[in-house]
Amino acid sequence: MKRVSRSRAGNVTVLLLLLFFGVFMFFPFFYAVLQAFKPMNEIFQYPPKFYIVHPTLENFMSISQLVDNLWVPFGRYVVNTLLVSVVGTALHVLLASMAAFPLAKYPFPGSRVFFEIVVLALMFNGSVTQIPQYVVMAGMGVIDSYLALLLPPLAGATGLFLMKQFMSSIPDAMLEAAQIDGAGRMCTWWRVVMPNVKAAWLTILIFAFQTYWNGAGSGYIYTESLKPLTTILNQIATAGVARAGTGAAVTVLLMLPPVMIFVFSQSRIVETMAHSGIK
């Protein structure tokens, strides 16, 4: 059989293109980190320089000084964000996988229409649904509570779509073997299906955590002690030109947790996207 491969020139061209796009995508992150360590006179220097002449930690120290003067202890905002992020992420993974299991393996009347609605929901931006979400949550009486931060991302369609696509590829013979061994539907879902779609739920975990971590909830939360970390840090960062350096430091701090989780799980994300057909 003839082996099909690119020429050396083709390999070099592909490598250069990947390197170019890699640098292009890494540049915003690099620039944000650069700005966080610049003194004020270098931040507004024109033309801007993509290096630091006099690096400083003053921007990060100013965050510490500002949070010391808050009405609510800074630790309260951290606890709010961690609580919502961890609980919301776990619930999102569980609910998405439990809903996808019957769609993928146990079709019911209307299941095809239901899945088409899920696919259609992928086209809607989150800002489009903010007003309907507010109306629904106000009717439920959950405004100004932790549920106002937890519920909106749970309705996201991406997790359900990914889990359904992965679960559809699991052989039916595997599920039948589990049933013959005496496993019920829930046992089959937890002990057979979930281990075989690990790449999918790890990807959902990353996306859900990022959504909850960056969620400000400013339209649903009015009690200061319930506000998440993102809200208070953004208020500090957007207080004027004098806090431009502090704003850059805030941006870096907010980026770190999602970026670190992504770095450790990037291979799973690539595998999931290739399998599910999401670009």
Pair 222, 144: CB distance under 8 Å: yes
Q: Which residue has the higher pLDDT, 70 or 176?
A: 176
Question: Residues 113-160: pLDDT tens digits?
Answer: 988 888 888 888 777 788 888 888 888 888 888 888 888 888 888 889
The percent of residues above 90 in pLDDT, for the chain, comes to 5
Pair 271, 199: CB distance under 8 Å: yes
Rama region for 141: left / alpha / beta (φ>0; ψ in -120 to 50; rest): left
Mean pLDDT of the chain: 81
Residue 215 has pLDDT above 80, yes or no: no
Count of residues making up the chain:
279
Domains and CATH numbers, the chain: 61-276 (1.10.3720.10)
Pair 213, 81: CB distance under 8 Å: yes
Q: What is the pLDDT of residue 80?
A: 87
Spatial distance between the Cα atoms of 121 and 118, rounded to a whole number of angstroms = 5
Pair 34, 52: CB distance under 8 Å: yes
Neighbours of 88 (CB within 10 A): 23
Handedness of CA 103, 107, 111, 112 (dihedral sign): positive
- Average pLDDT over every residue of 27-55: 81
Among 94-108, 132-146, 190-204, 254-268, which stretch is predicted with the lowest mean pLDDT?
Answer: 254-268
Token duo for residue 185: 């539907």
pTM: 0.75
Q: What is the pLDDT of residue 123?
A: 84
- Average pLDDT over every residue of 252-256: 80
Q: What is the pLDDT of residue 87?
A: 92
Residue 247 has pLDDT above 80, yes or no: no
Question: Residues 7-38: pLDDT tens digits?
Answer: 777 788 888 888 888 888 888 888 888 888 88
The percent of residues above 70 in pLDDT, for the chain, comes to 87
Confidence of residue 206 (pLDDT cuts 50, 70, 90): confident
Pair 269, 203: CB distance under 8 Å: yes
